[in-house]
């Protein structure tokens, strides 16, 4: 097993007034040649948007774009005719494919919106653009990891054009956990969203990340009142 730890303060980004964003990988004005991507994982942005503000209509193509709000709601509109609000407890995916325009605004005037936006490089180019949004409240479990994204339309959660998986975890008690890699050769981006995790003798706190590869499974200890996000992706990109 090979792994590398990145502390939360090592992320790029900046506070733009209406937007306070942290970037795990090079994005916008943040560029680090050593932090371009992790396999097929191209972007993990940790965004806080002021009430009523957001991103106006802009284009994307050939990217799988996943939005996971953690507080508040994001109002989404796109050139496919989709209009919706993505709330905390929802997961949204947009396969940009041949090209799509969309906007993302804080749905509420009087509160901040907090969300993760994740970009994964697809394994199929120039597909027909598609949109999918689900609530994961009914499948969320306490004190164990639960799947919210996979490559398979019939599986739990949303699906994308890539051999990738996303698992979330909400822990109300101390727990020793083991994650089994879904596809041989894949790597895992492991973020401590809140709380504390011990991994291979290392103490990790809020927004700290481990990139793990060259293993079929790994174990870790989760402290109570912790939240996790694991993103598994192919590494041969």
The number of residues in the chain equals 237
Q: Is residue 114 a known part of a binding site? A: no
- Dihedral of CA 68/69/73/75: which sign? negative
Whole-number average pLDDT of the chain: 97
User: Which residue from 164, 206, 162, 171 is spatially nearest to 189, judged by alpha carbons?
Assistant: 164
Name residue, tokens 């996979």.
150
Distance CA 183, CA 170 (A): 24
Q: Is residue 76 a known part of a binding site? A: no
Distance CA 41, CA 72 (A): 25
Report pLDDT digits (tens) over 46-77: 999 999 999 999 999 999 999 999 999 999 99
pLDDT at 176: 98
Q: Are 230 and 145 in contact (CB under 8 A)?
A: yes
Give the largest Cα separation in the chain, rounded: 49
Classify 117 as helix, strand or coil.
strand
Q: In which domain, by residue range, is 33 found?
A: 2-234
**Confidence band (pLDDT; 50, 70, 90) for 42?**
very high
User: Which residue from 146, 149, 153, 150 is spatially nearest to 163, judged by alpha carbons?
Assistant: 150
Residue 158 pLDDT exceeds 90: yes
Q: How far is CA 155 from CA 132, 147, 150, in A?
A: 14, 9, 7
Residue 162 pLDDT exceeds 90: yes
User: Which residue from 57, 13, 58, 62 is spatially nearest to 35, judged by alpha carbons?
Assistant: 13
Count of domains observed in the chain: 1
Output DSSP code: residue 141: -
**Confidence band (pLDDT; 50, 70, 90) for 156?**
very high
Report pLDDT digits (tens) over 85-104: 999 999 999 999 999 999 99
Q: Is residue 104 a known part of a binding site? A: yes
Q: Are 130 and 94 in contact (CB under 8 A)?
A: yes
Half-sphere CA count of 45, side-chain side, radius 13 A: 22
CATH classification of the domain holding 101: 2.60.120.10
């Amino acid at each position: 097993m090979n792994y590398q730890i990145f502390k939360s303060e090592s992320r790029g980004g900046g506070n733009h007034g209406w937007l306070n964003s942290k970037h795990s990988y090079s994005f916008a004005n943040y560029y680090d040649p050593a932090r371009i991507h992790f396999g097929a994982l191209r972007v993990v942005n940790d965004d806080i948007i002021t009430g009523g503000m957001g991103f106006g209509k802009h284009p994307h193509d050939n990217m799988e774009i996943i939005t996971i709000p953690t507080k508040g709601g994001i109002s989404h509109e796109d050139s496919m005719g989709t209009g919706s609000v993505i709330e905390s407890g929802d997961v949204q995916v947009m396969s940009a494919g041949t090209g799509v325009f969309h906007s993302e605004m804080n749905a509420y005037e009087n509160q901040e919106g907090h969300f993760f936006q994740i970009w994964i490089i697809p394994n199929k180019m120039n597909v027909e653009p598609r949109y999918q949004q689900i609530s994961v409240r009914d499948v969320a479990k306490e004190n164990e990891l639960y799947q919210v994204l996979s490559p398979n339309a019939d599986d739990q959660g949303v699906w994308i054009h890539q051999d990738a998986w996303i698992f979330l975890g909400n822990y109300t008690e101390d727990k020793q956990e083991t994650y089994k890699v879904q596809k041989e050769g894949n790597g895992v981006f492991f973020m401590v969203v809140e709380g504390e995790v011990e991994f291979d003798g290392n103490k990790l706190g809020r927004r700290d990340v481990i990139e793990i590869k060259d293993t079929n499974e790994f174990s870790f200890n989760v402290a109570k009142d912790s939240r996790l996000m694991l993103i598994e992706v192919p590494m041969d990109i």
